[in-house]
């Protein structure tokens, strides 16, 4: 059990709490958990938690049955998100939550040129944290031991050049103090997982720590090592599964995939996987990494070397840059299936790499980075907390992003236009129900609004109800009409249930939570159940599992015609654009417009006609098109398209969602 003391607790309050616990049979110890002062109580004593919780100086009490109290999910039910970097112009990188974070770099820093080249290559492919060993613990005393602090300085230079925080292994308590101001995150290697003096030293420094599982460590031993770090002062610990030693010798280690879900059930700490050390064979690393993502890992740490055959350490398991780039593309495609998004961050200073395709695209309306990031302002969405739009917002901007709820799609556009919101999230298409025409039409009414991003969110419907409810107790089900339509087969099996339509699925869940009756249930997402403290009675009740909604990020155009590029794009160039146009009423008009794009290798992914307001029987066309890599091709196509249309509007360029 742990007792978190309030910030205003004085010495007298603490002593009274200690005496209260000791009198009831507990051994008491002082601890720190980041900025929180804590009293840990161990033993077979008995105490009334409610009585303890109201003592002067007590902020809250957490009782746990686990020996790892601070790391236990019983102490903290919500997932911890660890933030690395965020100082000296380096963008902060979150690990955990709705994002998949990829760390990459060589096993060891071998030279300034090598680490700079590797950092550039992995950054281009999408890595957001740079890894590398300055000090290398090796089995043989004659093997390469690293460049020491000089290597760490090279690594810091590479990280700053590419806008990435760095993580490196600390092998001795005596080195930790010197490394503290250079590295952004300490790595505790597998061999040092139970080096308790090192754990206490690193924890006391308060920096994020990446804790690798020892080759023969049980899950409980691993979590107890995390407890050392947490009890010593840091709040930011990331667990890393890197394979365990078994009887199998074909691979370097045996990757314990089951440990990912087990640990995430036992602990609130984020879990990543090191597939390079898990298998030790270059050709097997990508498949092991993808398996880890599918199993629920919050990220990967991968060894990459520009010339693995020349590597001084772990060359056989290091990926070539081209292999790493393919792995990142595969992760991006897999992420939506497991309900996550691949994390991408802007480069240091908020800049971005030059985009192929020329500046003319931006002149046509491409968003190229505005004066302020929506991180400084809330993001607008329609509906209640826990709605699918809220989930999309979290996937794109992170759990900590400020947000504002509105009651209509028009209010999102208004908030962005007026500047009370830095960006907005709007649904435009469902894979089963088709287009959300209202939002397409709003783009024409708000010419100063641009599309700056895209997300395809899988819609998984759950039947959720108050604690104590069962399928047999339900008589009334609430949801959005689309929710009912998408779960028709499930509902048809229960014709006695009465259906009540609501404006959104999360609002239906909120009403069930307010009433607390066991007779009512809602059809909504898992996130709504968490937000409103409801119980999931049945998950995945949608008729068609291939149910996706496409959301767009919108922001206000800058004075130069662009808007803001949201963080998930990082420095990537746009790969998709949206336009709307009308054509003259004569044969072949639409054909000639499409030919302008086809002749330049521009693919058309969507074309839809809509009536022109105020002009009966006249139509305009919304089109989503690819942005080719060929220099100038897209600008030339737009220039020709304008000459062949009666009205043309460029809605925005952005990176296509997988």
What H or E segment, with its residue span, contains residue 392?
A: helix 388-397
Pairing of strands 299-303, 99-105: parallel
**pLDDT score at 366:** 35
Is residue 194 a contact partner of residue 174, using CB atoms and an 8 Å limit? no
Architecture of the 2-62 domain: 2-Layer Sandwich (3.30)
Q: Does the domain spanning 462-539 belong to CATH 3.40.190.10? A: yes
Give first-to-last CA distance, the chain, whole Å: 45
Is residue 47 a contact partner of residue 24, using CB atoms and an 8 Å limit? yes
Choose, from 413, 551, 581, 634, the residue flagged as catalytic: 551
C-alpha span between 296 and 338 (Å, rounded): 7
| Orientation angle between helical segments 437-445 and 409-418, nearest 10 degrees | 30
Q: Where are the domains of the chain?
A: 2-62, 84-342, 357-458+548-654, 462-539
C-alpha span between 501 and 524 (Å, rounded): 12
| Orientation angle between helical segments 321-334 and 112-125, nearest 10 degrees | 30
Show the tokens assigned to 529: 């159940």
Residue 430: which of 486, 479, 478 has the closest Cα? 486
**pLDDT score at 414:** 93
C-alpha span between 275 and 101 (Å, rounded): 14
Choose, from 549, 565, 581, 645, the residue flagged as catalytic: 549
Grouping H, G, I as helix, E, B as strand and the rest as coil, residue 615 is: strand
C-alpha span between 654 and 453 (Å, rounded): 5
Architecture of the 84-342 domain: Alpha-Beta Barrel (3.20)
Predicted structure pTM score = 0.70
**pLDDT score at 565:** 38
**pLDDT score at 36:** 74
Residue 184: which of 97, 116, 268, 89 has the closest Cα? 89
118 included as an active-site residue = no
**pLDDT score at 567:** 38
C-alpha span between 560 and 364 (Å, rounded): 10
**pLDDT score at 361:** 32
Q: What is the mean pLDDT of each run of 10 residues along the chain (658 residues)?
A: 83 88 81 73 76 86 80 86 90 91 97 97 95 87 88 96 96 94 96 96 95 97 95 93 95 96 96 97 97 97 96 94 94 86 68 31 34 65 92 89 93 93 94 89 89 92 95 96 93 95 93 95 94 93 92 80 38 82 92 92 92 84 91 88 91 87
In the Cβ-directed half-sphere of 125, how many Cα atoms lie within 13 Å? 30
| Orientation angle between helical segments 388-397 and 505-515, nearest 10 degrees | 110
Number of helices and strands in the chain (H, E): 21, 30
- Residues of 74-107 as b/e, b for ≥16 C-beta within 10 angstroms? bbbeebbbbbbbeeeebbebbbbbbbbbbbbbbb
- Residues of 252-289 as b/e, b for ≥16 C-beta within 10 angstroms? bbbbbbebbeebbebbbbbbbbbbbbbbbebebbbebb
- Is it true that 2-62 and 84-342 share their CATH fold? no
**Angle 63-400-212 from CA coordinates, rounded to 5°:** 60
Residue 593: which of 552, 555, 647, 630 has the closest Cα? 647
Show the tokens assigned to 616: 């009966």
**pLDDT score at 463:** 97
394 included as an active-site residue = no
C-alpha span between 293 and 523 (Å, rounded): 28
Residues in CB range of 625: below 8 A, 6 or more apart: 576, 577, 578, 579, 597, 602, 603, 604, 605
Residues in CB range of 157: below 8 A, 6 or more apart: 112, 115, 116
**pLDDT score at 489:** 94
Grouping H, G, I as helix, E, B as strand and the rest as coil, residue 582 is: strand
**Angle 426-126-237 from CA coordinates, rounded to 5°:** 90
Show the tokens assigned to 206: 């308060």
C-alpha span between 107 and 135 (Å, rounded): 10
User: Hey, how many other C-beta atoms are within 10 angstroms of the C-beta on 185?
Assistant: 22
C-alpha span between 99 and 411 (Å, rounded): 28
What are the Cα distances from residue 463, in Å, to 300, 336, 474, 480?
Answer: 33, 22, 10, 13
Show the tokens assigned to 176: 């930790």
Architecture of the 357-458+548-654 domain: 3-Layer(aba) Sandwich (3.40)
Residue 316: which of 272, 290, 273, 284 has the closest Cα? 284
């Amino acid at each position: 059990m742990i007792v978190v003391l309030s910030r205003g607790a004085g010495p007298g309050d603490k002593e009274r709490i200690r005496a209260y616990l000791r009198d009831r049979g507990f051994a008491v110890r002082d601890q720190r958990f980041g900025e929180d002062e804590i009293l840990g109580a161990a033993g077979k004593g008995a105490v009334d938690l409610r009585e303890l919780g109201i003592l002067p100086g007590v902020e809250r009490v957490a009782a746990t049955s686990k020996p790892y109290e601070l790391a236990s999910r019983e102490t903290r039910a919500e997932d911890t998100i660890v933030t690395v970097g965020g100082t000296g112009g380096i963008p902060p990188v979150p690990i955990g939550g709705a994002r998949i974070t990829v760390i990459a770099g060589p096993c060891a820093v071998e030279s300034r040129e090598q680490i700079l080249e590797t950092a550039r290559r992995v950054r281009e492919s999408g890595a957001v944290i740079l890894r590398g060993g300055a000090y290398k613990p090796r089995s043989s005393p004659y093997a390469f031991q690293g460049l020491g602090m000089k290597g760490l300085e090279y690594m810091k230079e590479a990280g700053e050049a590419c806008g990435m925080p760095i993580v490196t292994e600390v092998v001795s308590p005596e080195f930790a103090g010197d490394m503290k101001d250079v590295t952004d995150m300490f790595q505790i290697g597998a061999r040092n997982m139970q080096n308790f003096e090192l754990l206490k030293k690193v924890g006391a420094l308060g920096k994020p720590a990446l804790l690798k599982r020892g080759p023969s460590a049980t899950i409980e031993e691993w979590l107890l090592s995390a407890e050392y770090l947490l009890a010593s002062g840091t709040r930011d610990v990331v667990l890393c599964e890197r394979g365990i030693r078994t009887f199998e010798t074909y691979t370097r280690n045996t990757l314990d995939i089951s440990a990912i879900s087990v640990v995430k059930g036992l602990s609130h700490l984020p879990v990543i996987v090191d597939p390079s050390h898990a298998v030790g064979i270059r050709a097997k690393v990508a498949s092991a990494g993808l398996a880890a993502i599918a199993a629920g890992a919050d990220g990967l740490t991968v060894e990459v070397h520009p010339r693995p055959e020349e590597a001084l350490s772990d060359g056989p398991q290091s990926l070539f840059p081209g292999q790493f780039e393919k792995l990142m593309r595969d992760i991006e495609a897999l992420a939506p299936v497991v309900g996550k998004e691949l994390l991408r961050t802007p480069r240091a200073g908020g800049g971005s790499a030059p985009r192929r395709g020329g500046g003319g695209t931006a002149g046509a309306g491409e968003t190229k980075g505005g004066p302020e990031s929506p991180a400084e302002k809330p993001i607008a969405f329609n509906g209640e907390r826990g709605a699918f739009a809220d989930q999309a917002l979290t996937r794109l901007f992170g759990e900590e992003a400020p947000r504002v709820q509105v009651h209509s799609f028009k209010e999102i556009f208004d908030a962005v236009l007026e500047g009370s919101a830095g960006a907005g999230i709007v649904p435009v298409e469902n894979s089963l129900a088709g287009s959300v025409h209202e939002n397409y039409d709003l783009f024409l009414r708000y010419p100063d609004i641009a599309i700056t991003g895209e997300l395809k969110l899988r819609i998984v419907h759950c039947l959720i109800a108050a604690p104590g409810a069962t399928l047999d107790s339900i008589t009334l089900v609430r949801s959005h009409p689309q929710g009912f339509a998408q779960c028709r087969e499930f509902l048809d099996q229960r014709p006695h249930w009465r259906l009540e339509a609501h404006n959104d699925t999360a609002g239906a869940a909120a009403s069930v939570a307010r009433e607390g009756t066991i007779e009512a249930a809602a059809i909504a997402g898992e996130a709504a159940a968490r937000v409103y403290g409801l119980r999931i009675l049945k998950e995945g009740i949608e008729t068609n599992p291939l149910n996706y909604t496409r959301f767009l990020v919108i922001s206000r155009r800058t004075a130069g015609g662009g808007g803001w590029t949201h963080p998930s794009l990082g420095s990537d160039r746009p790969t998709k654009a949206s336009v709307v146009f009308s054509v003259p009423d004569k044969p072949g008009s639409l054909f000639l417009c499409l030919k302008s794009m086809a002749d330049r290798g521009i693919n058309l992914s969507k074309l839809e006609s809509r009536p022109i307001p105020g002009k009966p029987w006249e139509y305009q066309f919304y089109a989503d098109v690819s942005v080719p890599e060929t220099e100038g091709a897209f600008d030339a196509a737009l220039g020709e398209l304008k000459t062949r249309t009666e009205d043309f509007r460029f809605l925005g360029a952005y990176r296509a969602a997988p």
